[in-house]
Amino acid sequence: MQSESTLPAETSQPKGLGATALALCALVLFHFFRGLLSFSGGAATPLLIFVQLLTALGGGIELLLIWRYWKGADWGRIFVLIWSFVVAGREASALIDHEDNLTSLLIHPPRFMQLLLAIFLLYWLNTAPVRAWFKKMSSTAADLMYQKLAGKLCTAIARHHGFGGAAWKLAFEHDAELILTCPWRIVLDDNLAYASNSSASLGPELSADDEQPNRLLQNLRVKAVRVTPRTSDLYLSFEMGIELQTWSTSPQTQQWRYSDPTLTVIADSVGLNSQSVTVSAAHPDRAAND
């Protein structure tokens, strides 16, 4: 599978990473200085001095881990996820056991903001683009296509002549389109609802069944996109339990082509392994296999 794009580089830092790192640092410093104030009124016993040293050491380690998180270390992301899980679990446990209530949580802004940050990080750090950035892996062509096509409405499907012969064109909202030059079919609840006729596709005249795929797919939104890694077979899941399936026929030939204003994905069946695709504005024509 080949991919061309004018999207920003996938290796750029995710938006919000710096803000979350600053928020985590602010929480560490807040708890550290609050601990110092609690010790300031008492006598400086050896035990208190030891506790203060341990607190300072723990705060320093936390700041180091947050710094590595900001720099993109995956183990820094794991540390932040563990912290978020502990914070969210502790607050949820207190509410469930009736040791606390929402009113007391709301009247303590630092504690409430800490809980909100933990819940947000548990979701955000597990999203595919952010997780891929931390693992230093670029999105594959199939991932990019899913990001662009999922949720789009299919507006029409009709015959399309090009790419050396007859094909089918699926039009989607926001100027996205999918051109099929390989055999394909529509499956409804695991039953065959339509299959393309390769012999009929060679002529310009329309067959009686040409309107059937349009009736089945028009005004339905794409729910999922899957591409097999070696043969580039495409599976589009739509609403109403409908799935469009393609399959490859011969190597070294184009099977389908997806395009929108910012992304073009061209699939063939050369049998290559999946490879990550690095999309860079500086190299918009870089090709990779999926």
Complete DSSP assignment for 54-99: HHHHHHHHHHHHHHHHHHT-HHHHHHHHHHHHHHHHHHHHHHHTTS
Residue 273 in contact with residue 211, Cβ under 8 Å? no
State pLDDT tens for residues 58-80. Answer: 888 989 999 989 888 888 999 99
**Closest by CA position to 148, among listed 5, 2, 1:** 5
Most confident of 28-37, 178-187, 281-290: 178-187
Higher pLDDT, 167 or 197: 167
The least confident of 79-83, 147-151, 202-206, 254-258 is 202-206
Residues 79 and 17 in one domain: yes
Residues 154 and 33 in one domain: no
Residue 158 lies inside a defined structural domain of this protein: yes
> Helix (H, G, I), strand (E, B), or coil: what is residue 123?
helix
Residue 196 half-sphere exposure toward CB, CA atoms < 13 A: 21
Residue 263 lies inside a defined structural domain of this protein: yes
What domain range includes position 256?
141-268
- Count the domains in the chain: 2
State pLDDT tens for residues 124-138. Answer: 999 888 887 887 655
Residue 187 lies inside a defined structural domain of this protein: yes
